[in-house]
A = this chain, B = another copy of it.
Amino acid sequence: MRRKPKELTNETATARLRQAGLRPTRQRNELAKLLFRNGHRHLTAEALHGEAVAEGIKVSLATVYNTLHQFTQAGLLLQVVVDPTRSYFDTNTVYHQHFYHEDEGILTDIPGPDIAVDGLPTPPPGTEIKRVDVVVRVRKH
Residues of A within 8 A of B (CB): 79, 81-84, 86-87, 99, 101-102, 108, 110-121, 123-124, 126-141
Contacts and interface: CB of A to CB of B under 8 A. Distances in A.
Copies in the complex: 2
Q: What 3 pairs across the A-B complex have the smallest Cβ distances?
A: A127-B138, A116-B118, A128-B141
A82 to B, nearest CB: 6
A101 to B, nearest CB: 7
A132 B124 contact: no
Secondary structure at the A interface, as helix, strand, loop or mixed, is: strand
Contact of A136 (B101, B111, B129): B129
A134 B137 contact: no
Contacts of A87: 84
Contacts of A119: 112-116
Given A82-B81, A118-B118, A130 B139 contact: yes
A134 B133 contact: yes
Contacts of A134: 117, 132-134
A79 B102 CA distance: 14
A141 B123 CA distance: 11
A123 B99 contact: yes
